[in-house]
Structure 1
């Protein structure tokens, strides 16, 4: 059983960077491609509960977010973020690293190695 899970998106360079760092430091990781296996609402709420970042940071405010007519102020609470990410998994910021009762967003990239090593 892996010590750390990385919620990964293969087309994201920052997400690929996290996998490279994991290999470099010899971390045993489970890779979950969250677009192929989306998290349900309960899983998202559990993840948000472990997240060292604010729930709002888990939401990508990219062009798709804007194209949907969404407002960032509406997605600051755990429930609102979970509901949004169930409806639009592609809006989840990546990568997300989870170990035990802790989780971080792997941005900026320099957060990844200390989390994996510590």
Structure 2
């Protein structure tokens, strides 16, 4: 089953979910703001996405600018920041088996189908 890490307040995330539904895909929705991901879950997501921790961060978010911008952070520290402040996680993330993509724009979802 396809999994989407979704924030219903985000238009890009809603667009990604609609794309999956329009394609008739059965989707497991993970509202990671309501149910924050653990350190190990984020680490596993990064591995499937094949990206560095910083590439999953929304660096324009106020909380990033206020607490982390300009600091030299290890990968683990960046992951911990996403655990502590889930709104920092880029969205939506679509996972299909051992493939995953940050679906911005939503057309990128086709890369994992």
Is 1:88 the counterpart of 2:85? The answer is yes
Q: Which residue of 1 aligns with 2:3?
A: 5
Q: Aligned partners of 2:26 and 2:71: how far apart in 1?
A: 35
* Aligned pairs, number: 112
Is 1:31 the counterpart of 2:45? The answer is no
Change (3 A) 1:17 1:56: same
Change (3 A) 1:101 1:84: same
Query: Within 5 Å, which residues of 2 pair with 1:94-113?
Result: 94-112=91-109
TM-score, normalised by the number of residues in structure 1: 0.84
TM-score, normalised by the number of residues in structure 2: 0.87
Query: Within 5 Å, which residues of 2 pair with 1:4-83?
Result: 4-64=2-62, 65-71=64-70, 74=73, 77=75, 79-83=76-80
Gaps of 5+ in 1: none
Residues 18-71 of structure 1: CA deviation (Å, up to 9, x unaligned): 111011101111001000000001111111110144432210012411122423
1:110 positional shift: 2.0
Gaps of 5+ in 2: none
Change (3 A) 1:72 1:98: farther
Following TM superposition, the consecutive aligned residue runs of length 4 or more in structure 1 with deviations greater than 4 angstroms are none
Residues 60-99 of structure 1: CA deviation (Å, up to 9, x unaligned): 0124111224237636x3x233211111111000001111
